[in-house]
Chains A and B, each alone.
Chain A
Amino acid sequence: MTDAAIPTTTPVVRSRRMRPQWLTLPVIIGFAIIAFWVVVAVTVPLWTPYDPLMIAGRRLQAPSMAHWLGTDALGRDVLVRTLYGARYSLPIAVIVVAVAVAIGSALGAIAGYLGGLVDSVIMRFVDVTLAFPPILLAMAVTAALGPGLDNAAIAMVAVSWPVYARLMRAQVLSLRGREHVEAAIAAGASRPRVLIRHILPLAWSPTLVNATMDLGQIVLLAASLSFIGLGALPPTPEWGQMISEGAVHFYSWWIAFGPGMAILSMVLGFSFVGDGLRDLFDPRSGT
């Protein structure tokens, strides 16, 4: 009792757990969205009442309690098909970005480290590829290979690797003059060793940020290709394909609404997370 009466001048130290500065509300929302879609993609067959290919009721039904997002032109449940769509978009985005990062980074690192003729040849190739609008180039490649999700994936890799070559080249160029790199050379390290052990481990952050953002862009590009009939083929419940079907029935808005919102949320989610990662890796460029 008496203790409480003693006046204290020392400020009370509160053990409030600090949130890291880069973990802003949008970033948390982005993580939540992505987590949601990952969980859906993995578990969706376990708890949906309908099969995505099954005719679940009357065709072109408006949203109701039985079909939350209505049914499409063949009477399939739009919500179920939308949720199943994540099983295509998400793995494709991850695989395409992973392959593009691998190819682009390897070529960019070699170009930046060796310089000279090798650099010129690789980077001119990059310039030419980047000069095309991505959707146009992807269309051309898919058209040449024939429609289908796997060919669309190859086309998207062809479109997205050059950015990673540029990013990695720029990083390697700025790192290879660093003193610890010179020290490694002075220690007798071979050229591959210097590149792999002393340059690349420091060069990943811009690539990681860009790759995160790109995941969303690839989801969008895959949907675009499917929309124009070059990606997933019917009856695959792929988002772009579904929107394409919905476009025919303009007044049944719900057919395109489900997959449209799905694409929007996924692109937004990856963008938010990418922004957060950029603030984390490079505090200078953040707002």
Chain B
Amino acid sequence: MSAAPARAGADRPPLFEVRDLRVVFPGPAGGLEAVSGVDLAVDRGEVLAVVGESGSGKSVTMLAAMGLTGPGVTVTGSVRLDGEEYLGRPEALRRLRGKRMAMIFQDPMTALNPVMTVGAQITEMIRIHDRQVSQRQAMKKAVDLLALVAVPFPERRAAQYPHEFSGGMRQRAMIAMAMANDPEVLIADEPTTALDVTIQAQIIELLDGLRRERGLALVLITHDLGIVAGLADRVAILYAGRVVERAPVREAYYRPAHPYTASLLKALPSLEGDRGRLVPIDGSPPGLASRPPGCSFHPRCPIAVPRCMVERPALIAVGDHAAACHLADLSARTPLPMPAAGGAR
């Protein structure tokens, strides 16, 4: 496991830090708040998994942090790279994007420009950020990058168009593009969702290798808890625009402190132990316009108490484990009083 994550108040600020991020989309009654005060931090060589259901705000958080939300969207809070504030500086953020911070998108089928060769797209990525590089040098580097992400016959592949690539190869090309300027932070938005399971494993391995060899800080946005367990060092669970639990991966898996995390884990099939019925989480996540008062999770929570309906629990940290639940008791190390798997409900 990598070094303990740097927290606010430590001697050195973490490499990439998002603090109290709020994202408000235009809408009735002062707008719709998709992200309500999210704190995240990731350091060099570290993998942070941001986990949540669709609509939990995980993608929006990272898009907002990179300044990629559209016009009309209000983003407040703090986004720092190496201690330097970037929120509210769109031009500085633009220069940062693709250089020190890069992003990989979910669907490699649509994220590549269909009318440019793959080599030209990687070349463009290099030349956007460094006009000194000649076309020839950039193309040579593009071929090297394709080789780095294990695309066979990189010279030939660089001259091909995206439609000549398979899904897995396209995702490799996307990663090659993201790595073009040797970024420090790589944000991967569900990088394997659109791929076959065997290809998923290869891509995960590739990302892990890049992290280890290049000291990348990797933010992995996903809803696949299996990938989280295999790759991430720390995990942040998002629900309805808030971080509900943040912990090292083992901690989160073996000792979840929030009922939502616990419910997610129960909904996973297990290889060992009893193979009873999986326990789904009742209901569906609340919509943007209809977030319940109190704890957003209380309508679906199996152990909710009256207090949960009126008072929003704060995210309380003990050591490097934090949870936002009235019933969680991190210091006492008592497990949550969750109902047993397979129990009648």
A-to-B contact residues, CB < 8 Å? 115-116, 178-180, 182-190, 193, 197-198, 201-202
Contacts and interface: CB of A to CB of B under 8 A. Distances in A.
A188 B110 contact: no
B129 A188 contact: yes
B174 to A, nearest CB: 8
A184 B98 CA distance: 9
Nearest to B95: A188
6 contacts: A179-B110, A180-B111, A186-B98, A187-B128, A188-B95, A188-B96
B124 interface: yes
Nearest first, the 7 A-B pairs at minimum CB distance are A188-B98, A187-B98, A188-B97, A179-B110, A186-B103, A179-B111, A183-B111
A180 B114 contact: yes
B139 interface: no
Contacts of B105: 179, 182-183, 186
A184 B95 CA distance: 12
Interface string B48-85: 00000000000000000010100100000000000000
Interface string B91-125: 00011111100110101001111111000000011
Contacts of A188: 94-99, 128-129
Interface string B118-155: 00000011001100000000000000000000000000
A179 to B, nearest CB: 4
A180 B118 CA distance: 12
Contact of B115 (A182, A193, A202): A202
Given A188-B129, A190-B94, A183 B112 contact: yes
A201 B115 contact: yes
Nearest to B115: A201
A284 B95 CA distance: 41
B73 to A, nearest CB: 14
B244 interface: no
Contact of A189 (B96, B112, B128): B128
B177 A187 contact: yes
A187 B102 contact: yes
B97 A115 contact: no
Given A187-B177, A188-B97, A193 B128 contact: yes
Contacts of A182: 68, 105, 111
B111 A187 contact: no
